[in-house]
Amino acid sequence: METKRITTDEQLDDAFRIRKAVFVKEQGVAEEVELDEFEDIADHVLVYYENEPVGTGRVRVVDEYAKLERICVLSSHRMHRLGKAIMDELEAIAREKGMKKAKLHGQVQAAAFYEKQGYEVASTVFMEENIPHVKMVKDLSH
């Protein structure tokens, strides 16, 4: 397993392919919503398993928070604990940018995973793209 920060168009295409497989095909999110106006300003990462890109995520600065977004792993590789590697790299980027707090909108079914990464639920359940989510936050300063 290896995590890389995306620096090429080819890597970004790999990230978009993974996101489309998970969010559009698997979860029914509209493709025009999945790819948005923040792609160019966010920092993206890929996680590789046996040299194949199988997971991705992105982070961007929103006010005083690092906002972690679009975190996903292909269904065929979810048993390999690759999500934690994605989270660790996104948080490393956030810390390098001087961010002290992180937030994300986690799908309710994934909230326990984010809690294991140190995030706390900070909202009631709300809907995004017909999927129940909660806002989650984490102190990055330690």
pTM: 0.96
Length of the chain: 142
Q: Is residue 7 part of a domain?
A: yes
> Looking at the domain assignment, is residue 123 inside a domain?
no
Structural tokens at position 128: 């995004």
Containing H/E element for 3? strand 2-5
The values of phi and psi at residue 16, to 5°, are: -65, -40
Report pLDDT digits (tens) over 29-88.
998 899 999 999 999 999 999 999 999 999 999 999 999 999 999 999 998 989 999 999
CATH number of the domain where residue 32 is located: 3.40.630.30
Q: Is residue 23 part of a domain?
A: yes
Residue 83 lies in a domain: yes
**Helix residue spans in the chain (DSSP H):** 9-19, 31-34, 82-96, 111-116
52 found inside a domain:
yes
Full residue range of the structural domain in which residue 16 is found: 2-100
Residue 112 lies in a domain: no
Count of domains observed in the chain: 1
* Residue 95 placed within a domain: yes
Q: For 14, what's the count of Cα atoms within 13 Å in the CB-facing half-sphere?
A: 21
In a domain, 114, yes or no: no
